[in-house]
Structure 1
Amino acid sequence: RQHSAQTRWVVLNLTGEAKSWTLPEASGATAVLLTTESTPPTINGNALPLRPNEGVILAI
């Protein structure tokens, strides 16, 4: 049985009032590309020190 080493991405853009987001456990994602227009966004209960229009890659 072969296992893929491919990274599975979730691309998340937090805009407007969408400042809080939780990654669905069943998504199968191994990384998140997070961009934001909010300051600061919150993911899984943790605030990220991002300014508007900045982005971060989260390995999960």
Structure 2
Amino acid sequence: MDKPQMNGHVEGLKSRLHQFLETLDTIEPETADLQEIDRLISMVDELEEQVEKIKSDKKQ
């Protein structure tokens, strides 16, 4: 994978991680419902997929 494309993927990952942290900051632990927790889990899954994609593309 060429460096500009890798940088784009990493920047996308950083942006997604920032969105996750902002979402996490808005949740009140005492009142969080199942839907909010599912949303966080989904976001973590997406982040994991992006990291795995970057790792596999880097190996090629």
Tell me which interval the TM-score lies in, with the shorter structure as reference length.
Answer: under 0.3
The structure in which a higher percent of residues are strand is: 1
TM-score (norm 2): 0.27
TM-score (norm 1): 0.27
The structure in which a higher percent of residues are helix is: 2
Q: Between Structure 1 and Structure 2, whose CA radius of gyration is higher?
A: 2
